[in-house]
Structure 1
Amino acid sequence: MGGTGDSVGNADKRPNEQLTSWFVRSGWSKGELARQVNRRARQMGANHISTDTSRVRRWLDGEQPREPIPRILSELFSERFGAVVAIGDLGLRTAHQSPSLSGVDLPWTAPQTVELIGEFSRSDLMLARRGFLGTSLALAAGPTLIEPMQRWLVPAPAAPTAAQEPQIQGRRGSRLSGPELELLEATTVMFRKWDAQCGGGLRRKAVVGQLHEVTDLLQEPHPDATARRLFKIAAELAELAGWMSYDVGLQPTAQKYFVLALHAAKEAGDKPLGSYILSGMSRQMIHLGRPEDALELIHLAQYGSRDCATARTQAMLYAMEARAYANMGQPSKTKRAVRMAEDTFVDADESAEQEPDWIRFFSEAELNGENSHSYRDLAYVAGRSPTYASLAHPVMGRAVELFGRDKEHQRSYALNLIGMATVHLLQREPEQSTVLVGEALDIAKKVRSERVNTRLRKTVATALRDFGEVAEVHDLTDRLAVQLPETAEAV
Structure 2
Amino acid sequence: MTRLVEASGAAKKSLAFRLNQLAETAGLETHYTHTSWTNWMKRGTRPAQAVRPLIAQVLEERLGRPVSLAEIDLDHDPGVDSGIGLEFPRELGTAVQIATRFWSQVDRRDIRGPGVAVANYNTPVRRWLALPADDSAASRSPGAFRRVGKADVVELLETAEQARQWDSRYGGGNWRTSQLTVCLKERAAPLLHGSYSDAVGRRLFTATAQLARLAGWTAFDNGDHANAQRHYIQALRQARAAGDVQLGGYVLTCMALQCSLGGFHDDAIDMADSAFHRVGGNATPRVKGFFKLIESRIWARSGNARMADGALATAERLLDAASSYTGDDPAWIDFFDEHRLASDAIEIHRDLGRPREAQRWNELAAMPTDTFARAYALRQSVLGSTYLQGYQPEPLDKRLVDTLLVPHTHAVLRACPDLIPGAHSAGKGDRDMATDVDLAIERILRDELTRATPGIGVQGEEEGGPTSGTRWVIDPVDGTANLTHDIPLTGISLALVVDEDPLLGVIALPQLGRTYSAADGLGACRDGHPIRIAGPARLDEAIVAVGDYGTGPDAAARNAAMLAIHAALAPRAQRIRMLGSAAADLALLADSALGASITLGNRTWDMAAGAVIAREAGANVTDLDGTDHTTASRCTIAAAPALIEDILDIVQRASAINSFTGEEVVAC
TM-score by length of 2: 0.52
Q: Which structure carries more relative contact order (alpha carbon 8 Å, separation 6+)? A: 1
In the alignment, what sits opposite 2:116?
A: 139
Equivalent in 120, 133, 153 of residue 102 of structure 2? 120
Q: 1:325 touches 1:333 (CA, 8 Å); kept in 2?
A: yes
Is 2:66 the partner of 1:100? Answer: no
Greater Cα offset, 469-478 or 217-226? 469-478
Q: 1:376 touches 1:392 (CA, 8 Å); kept in 2?
A: yes
In the alignment, what sits opposite 1:416?
A: 379
In the alignment, what sits opposite 2:298?
A: 324
Counterpart amino acid of 1:18? P
Q: 1:285 touches 1:294 (CA, 8 Å); kept in 2?
A: yes
Q: Give how far 1:409 is off.
A: 0.9
In the alignment, what sits opposite 1:6?
A: none
Counterpart amino acid of 1:113? A
In the alignment, what sits opposite 1:461?
A: 471
Q: Check 1:364–1:94 CA distance in 2 against 1; reply closer, same or farther (3 A cut).
A: closer
1:383-402 residue pairs with structure 2 within 5 A? 388-399=354-365, 402=366
Q: 1:238 touches 1:258 (CA, 8 Å); kept in 2?
A: yes
Is 2:391 the partner of 1:425? Answer: no
CA distance in 2, matches of 1:375, 1:473: 26
Is 2:154 the partner of 1:154? Answer: no
Q: Check 1:174–1:291 CA distance in 2 against 1; reply closer, same or farther (3 A cut).
A: same
Equivalent in 159, 163, 174 of residue 191 of structure 1? 163
Q: Give how far 1:470 is off.
A: 7.8
Is 2:149 the partner of 1:177? Answer: yes
CA distance in 2, matches of 1:292, 1:286: 8
In the alignment, what sits opposite 1:35?
A: none
Q: Check 1:169–1:329 CA distance in 2 against 1; reply closer, same or farther (3 A cut).
A: farther
In the alignment, what sits opposite 1:206?
A: 179
Offset from partner CA, 1:375-434 (integer Å, 9 cap, x none)? 11111xxxxxxxx222222113422xx12x341110000000001101111125496644
Q: Check 1:219–1:279 CA distance in 2 against 1; reply closer, same or farther (3 A cut).
A: same
CA distance in 2, matches of 1:15, 1:187: 49
Q: Check 1:471–1:313 CA distance in 2 against 1; reply closer, same or farther (3 A cut).
A: closer
Q: Give how far 1:471 is off.
A: 5.4
CA distance in 1, matches of 2:54, 2:133: 47
Which consecutive aligned stretches of 4+ in structure 1 deviate over 6 angstroms post-superposition?
14-17, 19-22, 169-174, 477-481, 483-486
Q: 2:133 touches 2:240 (CA, 8 Å); kept in 1?
A: no
CA distance in 2, matches of 1:17, 1:280: 34
Q: Give how far 1:111 is off.
A: 1.4
Offset from partner CA, 1:125-163 (integer Å, 9 cap, x none)? 4x3xxx44303x973225x53354121022379858xxx
Equivalent in 439, 444, 465 of residue 411 of structure 2? 444
Q: Give how far 1:256 is off.
A: 1.0
Task: Give the gaps of 5 or more residues in structure 1.
Answer: 1-13, 26-72, 380-387, 487-491
Offset from partner CA, 1:236-262 (integer Å, 9 cap, x none)? 000000000000000111011101100
Q: Check 1:352–1:196 CA distance in 2 against 1; reply closer, same or farther (3 A cut).
A: farther
Q: 2:133 touches 2:242 (CA, 8 Å); kept in 1?
A: no
Counterpart amino acid of 1:407? D
Q: Check 1:119–1:105 CA distance in 2 against 1; reply closer, same or farther (3 A cut).
A: closer
CA distance in 2, matches of 1:97, 1:260: 16
Q: 2:205 touches 2:242 (CA, 8 Å); kept in 1?
A: yes
CA distance in 1, matches of 2:165, 2:392: 35
In the alignment, what sits opposite 1:18?
A: 53
Paired residues, what number? 390
Counterpart amino acid of 2:155? L
Q: Could you say what secondary structure the match of 2:201 adopts? A: helix
CA distance in 2, matches of 1:390, 1:322: 18
CA distance in 2, matches of 1:362, 1:304: 20
- From the CA coordinates, give the structure whose radius of gyration is larger: 2
Offset from partner CA, 1:96-122 (integer Å, 9 cap, x none)? 426425xx3531321122112211111
CA distance in 2, matches of 1:156, 1:331: 31
Q: Check 1:342–1:169 CA distance in 2 against 1; reply closer, same or farther (3 A cut).
A: farther
Q: Check 1:470–1:243 CA distance in 2 against 1; reply closer, same or farther (3 A cut).
A: closer
- Please provide the CA RMSD for this pair: 3.9
In the alignment, what sits opposite 1:59?
A: none
CA distance in 1, matches of 2:283, 2:51: 55
1:77-96 residue pairs with structure 2 within 5 A? 77=70, 81=71, 85-86=72-73, 89-90=74-75, 96=80
In the alignment, what sits opposite 2:215?
A: 241
Greater Cα offset, 426-435 or 366-375? 426-435
Q: Check 1:132–1:395 CA distance in 2 against 1; reply closer, same or farther (3 A cut).
A: same
In the alignment, what sits opposite 1:289?
A: 263
In the alignment, what sits opposite 1:310?
A: 284
Counterpart amino acid of 1:391? E
TM-score by length of 1: 0.69
CA distance in 1, matches of 2:138, 2:326: 37
Q: Give how far 1:210 is off.
A: 1.0
Q: Check 1:204–1:93 CA distance in 2 against 1; reply closer, same or farther (3 A cut).
A: same
Counterpart amino acid of 2:81? Q
Counterpart amino acid of 2:373? Q
Relative to its length, the structure with more strand (as a share) is 2
Q: 1:414 touches 1:452 (CA, 8 Å); kept in 2?
A: no
Q: 1:302 touches 1:314 (CA, 8 Å); kept in 2?
A: yes
CA distance in 2, matches of 1:452, 1:17: 32
Q: Give how far 1:323 is off.
A: 1.0
Offset from partner CA, 1:206-233 (integer Å, 9 cap, x none)? 1011112212111111111111111111
CA distance in 1, matches of 2:55, 2:271: 41
